[in-house]
Structure 1
Amino acid sequence: MGTPINFDTVLRTEGKEKRIDSKENIFQLELQGYHLFPLHQVIDITRAKDTDEIGRAIIVELTLKEERTICTYQLVSLSSVN
């Protein structure tokens, strides 16, 4: 049986991101299941599925284990604070 995996080009946070380095604007987000994102490329960030972009980020690290994905990203621009 194969392993389900999602290929994503937009990072959807649902407000669950955690700041891990305030100087460099580094955040970490844990997602259920396996997700692949483009690494070291600027991608859009949204809060929810059908909402507008709130910023742009660069994924710097992905860890896939135990049916979850830990995504570490650097926020490079912010469109809105809400």
Structure 2
Amino acid sequence: MGTPINFETVLRTEGKEKRIDSKENIFQLQLQGYHLFPLHQPIEITRTKETDEIGTAIIVELTLKEKQTFCTYQLISLSSVN
């Protein structure tokens, strides 16, 4: 039996991100299921599938365990404060 995995090119936060370093704008996001993102490359961030881009981030670390993905990213630009 295979393991379902999603290959992502946009980071959708659903407002569940947690800031872990305010000086460096580092955030962590926990996602259900397994998701792969490009590492160390700028990618678009949105809150939901229906909303516009809110900024750009670089994924610095991905951990896949227990049917969850833990994504650590650095926010490098912000399009909107809301």
Q: Please state which band the TM-score falls in when normalised by the shorter chain.
A: over 0.9
Distance 1:77 1:58 in 2: 10
1:46 equivalenced with 2:51 (yes/no) = no
Question: Which runs of 5 or more structure 2 residues have no equivalent in the other structure?
Answer: none
Q: Which residue of 2 aligns with 1:11?
A: 11
C-alpha RMSD of the superposition: 0.3
Distance 1:49 1:32 in 2: 16
Task: Name the SS of the counterpart of 1:53 in structure 2.
Answer: coil
Percent identity of the aligned residues? 87
Q: Give the TM-score normalised by the residue count of structure 1.
A: 0.99
Question: Which runs of 5 or more structure 1 residues have no equivalent in the other structure?
Answer: none
Structure 1 segments (4+ residues) deviating >3 Å: none
Task: Name the SS of the counterpart of 2:54 in structure 1.
Answer: strand
Give CA deviations for 1:32-69 in whole Å, capped at 9, x if unaligned: 00000000000000000111000000000000000000
Count of paired positions: 82
Q: Give the TM-score normalised by the residue count of structure 2.
A: 0.99
Distance 1:67 1:49 in 2: 22
Deviation at 1:15, TM superposition (A): 0.2
